[in-house]
Amino acid sequence: MRLVLASTSPRRRDLLARIGVVPARIDAPDIDEDPLRGELPRPYVLRIATGKAHAVPRAADEIVLAGDTTIAVGRRILGKPEDEADLRRMLALLSGRRHHCLSAVCLIGLDGKARTRLSDTVVTFKRLTPQEIDAYVASGEGMGKAGGYAIQGRAEGFVRFLAGSHSGVVGLPVFETRAMLMSAGYPFG
């Protein structure tokens, strides 16, 4: 059995390596990640993870693993910021507030069936000053990240409270992923 990672994220590769998993192949899925009109955060992140897994070709001896992470503030989905102004808007919205980091995993097993798991982590940011927002935007760290922040970087200093999966906020919930791989018969050393 060979594992295909449907992601080019170096964070996901690093998180898999922490549990002794090295994909046999990495393939970048090409799907539209825009939310559907009226789509809620949970169905959205599960749909995107599943879409990524199905977008990658799979041989008979391969299983495919894909993940997606999004930030939800109420019913609002915060994807990756489009520009610095969008990043500022996201950080201002998250400032002093509780939000959910939803991280979905989809595994297509040898039987061709897709199975999903969802990790929901509650994160609360401290109230951010305009200077903290300016400095974080200037660092460039939040660009390309769901919700406009990287918890494994400078933004960890903004986190006042976290309940759930730290690795899920980084980009792949390790506990759920390992359980799925084990149930698929992946050979852990």
62 lies in some domain: yes
188 lies in some domain: no
Question: Does the model's pTM come out above 0.85?
Answer: yes
Split into its structural domains, the chain has a count of: 1
138 lies in some domain: yes
Reduced to 3 states (helix: H, G, I; strand: E, B; else coil), residue 130 is: helix
41 lies in some domain: yes
pLDDT tens track, the chain, 189 positions: 999 999 988 999 999 999 999 999 999 999 999 999 999 999 999 999 999 999 999 999 999 999 999 999 999 999 999 999 999 999 999 999 999 999 999 999 999 999 999 999 999 999 999 999 999 999 999 999 999 999 999 999 999 999 999 999 999 999 999 999 999 999 876
- The catalytic residues are 68
Structural domain of residue 127, as residue ranges?
2-183
Helix ranges restricted to H, the chain: 10-18, 41-54, 84-94, 130-139, 166-170, 174-183
Q: How far is CA 122 from the centre of its chain?
A: 14
53 lies in some domain: yes
Q: Looking at residue 40, which CATH number applies to its domain?
A: 3.90.950.10
189 lies in some domain: no
